[in-house]
Structure 1
Amino acid sequence: MLVVVSDTHSREESKLQGRTAEAVREAELVVHVGDFYREPVLDAFESASRALRGVYGNNDDAMIRERLPEVRTVEYAGVRFAVTHRHRSGDTGLVMLGRGRDADAVICGHTHRPRFDDSTGLPILNPGSHAEPRGNRPAHAELEPASGAGDESEQADSNPDAGLDGRLVTPAGEVFEEFRIRP
């Protein structure tokens, strides 16, 4: 499982609770999309996860910026992601970033609003914030290789090239949106 979190905004701890904490511990790979805030928070995520790939956000301190890139490419189960905290040109800039990195989707943060949008020409995933939702639903994203269960068309998707089934999940464990990303 790939877990995506963002916008922790903490000085000392990961603020992981409930399903979000479980998912981070269980995941093969965790992507943090920036705004840890202070370096001890990055350290806490590294301790809590098996493998962490992060980028820095606009509120991250100099120590985090020395350790993490602003943009990176991450691959999981045959799907390639362009990862950045934000892009000043909005969705258009995110799509252009993703295409420039030959990505299948873009992961971003910054807005604290969880969303999946595949209407932009390249899917965009924002996990929201598990710790500082700022009036939005607190959330993280969980992605797993597509299951292929169901009708014949979905069974055809059971091969490794089928993509990832994803969901936006609250720390309480409520799944409030499901989606698929195809390579």
Structure 2
Amino acid sequence: MRQPSYAEAVRLLLMSDTHLPKRAKALPDALLAELPHADVAFHAGDWVDTATLDLLESRCRRLIGVYGNNDGPELRARLPEVAYAELDGLRFGAVHETGPAQGREARCAARFPDLDVLVFGHSHIPWDTTAPTGLRLLNPGSPTDRRRQPHCTYMTATVTDGRLTDVTLHRLPPR
């Protein structure tokens, strides 16, 4: 698998809470079409099946993933609870659960003081905020299980010259 060159912009694809095959039979075509364009893909847990991990490992240039509360022993054996990566000078972390929305920024800034960006999941609710410390918190929602949200979602972003830019929430068409 080719490792991305960081001389140019690093294109990111962020997803979480795929819950396959419980909530959907497969990842949405629009999300799969983004994979070849991403230098790094994040999955913030609740895969539920190992087939999704196998698929993303085979199609992603670089995959950063963690297990979630619905992931069993096979996934927990292959994935960490928290993952870390440095991309073009930005320090990233991924974790599944961050607790209640109220106080999230302060709680995550205290737990992850050395990060610039934290990708998380669990709630299925898209989230994009910045803590007073500068920590950017991103939850891409779920591409397969919208729960009480109007749309299934995922995110893309770009890292250029040590800055996170072009953070975009993508709404998927109804299934």
User: Smaller-chain TM-score range?
Assistant: 0.7 to 0.9
Residue identity (%): 31
In structure 2, distance between residues paired with 1:14 and 1:115: 25
More helix per residue = 1
Structure 1 residue 51: deviation in Å? Answer: 1.6
| 1:78 and 2:79 are equivalent in the alignment | no
Structure 1 residue 64: deviation in Å? Answer: 0.4
Is there any run of 5+ residues in structure 2 with no aligned partner, and where?
Answer: 1-10
Give the equivalent residue in structure 1 for 2:137. 124
Query: Normalising by structure 2, what TM-score?
Result: 0.80
Bigger shift: 105-114 or 160-169? 160-169
Equivalent residue runs for 1:99-118 within 5 Å? 99=113, 102-118=114-130
Give the equivalent residue in structure 2 for 1:48. 59
CA contact (8 A) 2:90 2:163 kept: no
Equivalent residue runs for 1:141-180 within 5 Å? 141-146=155-160, 160-172=161-173
Tell me how large the CA RMSD over aligned residues is. 2.1
Is there any run of 5+ residues in structure 1 with no aligned partner, and where?
Answer: 147-159, 173-183
Q: Name the SS for the 2:48 alignment partner.
A: coil
Give every structure 1 segment of 4 or more consecutive aligned residues whose post-TM-superposition deviation is greater than 3 Å.
Answer: 11-14
Query: Normalising by structure 1, what TM-score?
Result: 0.77
Bigger relative contact order, structure 1 or 2, given CA contacts below 8 A and separation 6+?
A: 2
CA contact (8 A) 1:130 1:139 kept: yes
Structure 1 residue 75: deviation in Å? Answer: 2.1
